Structure 1
Amino acid sequence: MSRLWEDASRTPLATTLARIFIAAVVFNYPWERAQSTLYVARDGTSIPWWQCFSMSLGDGLLVLLMFCIGWIWFGQPGWFQHPGLRGYALMAVTGLVMIIPLEWIMIYGAKWWSYTAEMPLIPGVAVGVSSVAQMLLLPPLIFRVVTIWHR
């Protein structure tokens, strides 16, 4: 049972989860701030820093979910330390599966904000390229940083 609570490098699971979440928030917040110029709030104003921070907390939860999916898929919590092609594919697929519907719901369903004319959209799904790129590019970086942090 104790192995369940430790990853491959013998780091307690709670520490691994905290490191993933912290790294995800730290890397996602600047991205959220940078892309905030491509969105407008419901009332037509620019997106404030605190909303970008709250979105980076949500991004942190998405990366934790990605970690859990990888753990279930590969059967080990340390899967991200040496992801290989299968691990990177899992990151890409889960990133797409999570962010496309979530972004669509927030823009077109809940209408929390909308895109400016400068936001490039992905044809067929009409979601912003920057949010999809964020979920494809940052998780491998986050997991690499956490792997180094474990050492």
Structure 2
Amino acid sequence: MLSEPEKLVKVTNAHVPTNEEEAKRVEADGGQLLYIQGELRVNGVLNLTRALGDIGGRPMISPKADTTVIERDVSQYLILLACDGVSELFSDSEVLDMIKSFVAKHSYKKFYDLSDHICRAALAGGSVDNVTCVAVFLRPPKDLWELLGGDVDD
């Protein structure tokens, strides 16, 4: 997710069997998409279509990266790298609300705790998947705090 003033923009694709393009790729590589306990899975096993290190799932489970080129501009504040344990639990607007809440409660000098705040919210919200989140600031963190009305006093 890429943060711009007052919104988050998803810049990645979900690499899951329900993604039509991914499903076509899996089937073209000889895989089957099967519903197991109500969830679509590749060959009845994995609920994802790309992974590193899953040699037994190849070629259906691809290690090939899906890349995107994004033109940066000064309105972008951070990139939030989050796994499905976060992104499937919260909507973009909920994540943005968490960022705003964190900024409102903490000095910009605590910017390094933002990812932890989001991960803890996912765990508290009942995420049963792995929970990983990394905030990459594209501008000085103080700029984001100023934009969102947070504490910027030194």
TM interval, shorter chain, is 0.3 to 0.5
Q: Larger relative contact order (C-alpha < 8 A, sep ≥ 6)?
A: 1
Structure number with the higher strand fraction is 2
Structure number with the higher helix fraction is 1
**TM-score for the superposition, normalised by structure 1:** 0.35
Larger Rg: 2
